[in-house]
Chains A and B, each alone.
Chain A
Amino acid sequence: MKLLTMLIMVTFSACGSGYDNHDLELLTRYRAKDLCSCVFVQNRDDQYCIDWTVASPDLATVRIDHETQTVTTEAMFFWAGKARFVDARRGCVLE
C-alpha cells in the first residue's frame, strides 16, 4: 500500500469515477484512526504521533483526549474523523 503517498496528494477535486470519498474525508479519518492507535496502542507521545500522521499539506486539526481515549480530527470546517480506543486487544476503531 502506498497510503501516505496517496494521502499526500490532497486535492479538492473529488468528482469523477471511483469510490465516493472526498480526499479530506479519507485524510481526516485516516489521521483520527492512526493517531489514536499511535497514542493508545503504540504508547508513543502525542507530539511524535501528530508528526507521524501529518500529511502535506497539513489541513487537519487534531485533538487527543486522554480521558475518553478518543481522537478527533477536522479539516475545512466540514470533514471530520473520530476514533476511539476500545481495549488493548482491539485497539482503536473508527466511528
Chain B
Amino acid sequence: MIALSGFVIALACSAAGFPDADWQAVETPAAAGAKAAMEAHAFTLTGEDIERLGVRTDSLLILHRGQLIYERYGRGFGPENPHLLWSVTKSIMGTLVGRAVHEGLINLDESICTYDDEVPEALCAIRVLDLLQFTSGIDFKESYEGERNQVSSVLAMLYGVGSDDMAQFVTEHPVRDAPGETFSYSTGDAVLLARVLGKAVSSTFGADFPWAMLFDRLGITSATIEQDKAGTYVGGSYGYMTPRDLLRFGYFLRRGGCWKGEQLLATDWVDKATVPNPAMTKRALCCADHDVNGRSFWLNRAVPETDRVQRWPDAPEDTFAGAGHWGQYLWVIPSKDLVVVRFGDDRDKTHDSNELLRLVIEWTDQLP
C-alpha cells in the first residue's frame, strides 16, 4: 500500500510549486533561538580571513516546502557569484546520465566501449553503471593525505601529466578490481563518465549537452563546467553555479526529476540513485567509514556489511547529498521537505556538517 502510494505520487508530475524567474524569499515567523544558533554556527569567522581557520561559510540557503526561507552570504560572496562546486559536480554529471537514460541515449548495463571508441579493450568490461557508482575497478589513486604529491592520480590528472586529455589519462591506468565488485570513489571515473556520456548524447544534444539536457530546462543560467584541452568536461571537479541555481537542481531532485509538469528523469531514477550501490555491501576501498554512495550521491545510511556508519547521525536516514572539497554541500532531505545549499572554504577540520544539519532541522521543525 505504501509502495503503491509512493508510485502514484512519483507519477504525478505537477506544474505547481516551482520558482518563476527566480526564487522569492519568504519571511518566516521568528524562531529566534534555533535560527540564531544555526547562524552563529555557520557564520562566525575565526581570526583573519587569510589565516583560513575554522568554519568559513560562503553561503547558506534553505528551501523548505519549496520556499526559500533562508539566504545568507559570507566572505564577500553574494547571489551573483557562481561558486566552485568541486565534487558536487559529480552529482550533476550523474544526473545528466539519468537524463540520457530517460532520452534512450545510454544504457547503464552497456559496456562503456559501446559509446566510446577511444576506451582501450582492457576496460571494456566496465559498464556505464560502474562509472556512475565508482565501481570501475580502475586503479586510480584518489588521494593519500600525508603522501607525496606525485602519488595522487587526481593532482596528475587536473594539473600534471594527465591534464591535457584527462579521460585518456584515466584509461591508461590498469584495472585493479573486477568492475562492479569494489567501491572506490574516483574523480577519474567521473571524468571518464563525462567523455562516455558526451559521445553518447552529443549527436542529439550537441557539445553543450549539460545545458540542452538539464540546465536550460531548470532555468539554471549561471552554470560553468570547465573542460580540458581535449574538450572533455572535468565532470568530477570543475563545475560552478550560484547557490540559487544549485537550489534549482536540488529541488528538481526533491521532486523526483519533475520540473514544472515535465518528468525529465525516469520516475524511479532518484530513488535508485539514493540507495547504497551493490558494491557498498561487498567491498569499499576508500574514504571514511561514513562514506556511502548510491549513484554519484552521498547517502546517510549505514552499511553493516562493510562497517559503514551514518554520515549525518542527527539527520534523517533519507538525507542525500552532493559534497565537495573544502565544505561544499547540496543536501536533499525528502522526509523534511528540505533542500539546503552550503558553500564554504573550510581548510581545517573544524566544520561539522552534522551539527549544521542538526541546527537547520531544529529550526525548520519549529516552523508552522
Contact = CB atoms under 8 A, between A and B. Distances in A.
B224 A19 contact: no
A48 B81 contact: no
B159 A30 contact: yes
B154 interface: yes
B150 A91 contact: no
Interface in B33-91: 49-50, 76-77, 80-84, 86-87
B160 A5 contact: no
B59 to A, nearest CB: 12
Interface in B207-232: 208, 211, 223-229
Interface string B189-212: 000000000000000000010010
B238 interface: yes
B224 A94 contact: no
A89 B161 contact: no
B224 A90 contact: yes
Contacts of A16: 148, 150
A11 B148 CA distance: 9
A6 B229 contact: no
B13 interface: no
Interface in A1-45: 1-7, 9, 11, 14, 16-21, 23, 25-26, 29-30, 33-34, 37-38, 41-44
Most buried by B among A3, A48, A54: A3
Contact of B155 (A14, A26, A52, A94): A26
Contacts, number: 127
A92 interface: yes
Nearest to B75: A48
Contacts of B152: 6, 19
Contacts of A23: 149-150
Interface in B120-154: 142-143, 145, 147-154
B163 interface: yes
Given A16-B148, A18-B148, A37-B238, A89 B154 contact: no
A75 interface: no
A14 B208 contact: no
A64 interface: no
B76 A1 contact: no
B7 to A, nearest CB: 37
Most buried by A among B142, B153, B158, B208: B158
Contact of A51 (B49, B82, B86): B49
A68 to B, nearest CB: 18
B237 interface: yes
Contacts of B158: 3, 30, 33
Contacts of A81: 159
A5 B76 CA distance: 24
A93 interface: yes
A76 interface: no
B345 interface: yes
B220 to A, nearest CB: 11
Contacts of A48: 76
Contacts of B82: 41-43
B308 interface: no
A16 B237 CA distance: 28
Nearest to A5: B145
B325 interface: yes
Given A1-B237, A43-B82, A94-B229, A7 B149 contact: yes
A91 B81 CA distance: 14
Nearest to B236: A1
A4 B155 contact: no
Interface of A: 1-7, 9, 11, 14, 16-21, 23, 25-26, 29-30, 33-34, 37-38, 41-44, 48, 51-52, 54, 81, 86, 88-95
Given A19-B155, A21-B159, A44-B76, 17 more contacts: A3-B143, A4-B326, A5-B145, A6-B143, A17-B151, A19-B160, A19-B162, A21-B149, A25-B159, A25-B160, A26-B155, A37-B240, A42-B83, A89-B208, A93-B226, A94-B163, A94-B228
Which 9 residue pairs are nearest across A and B when measured between Cβ atoms? A18-B150, A21-B160, A19-B156, A91-B226, A29-B159, A91-B224, A30-B159, A18-B151, A2-B145
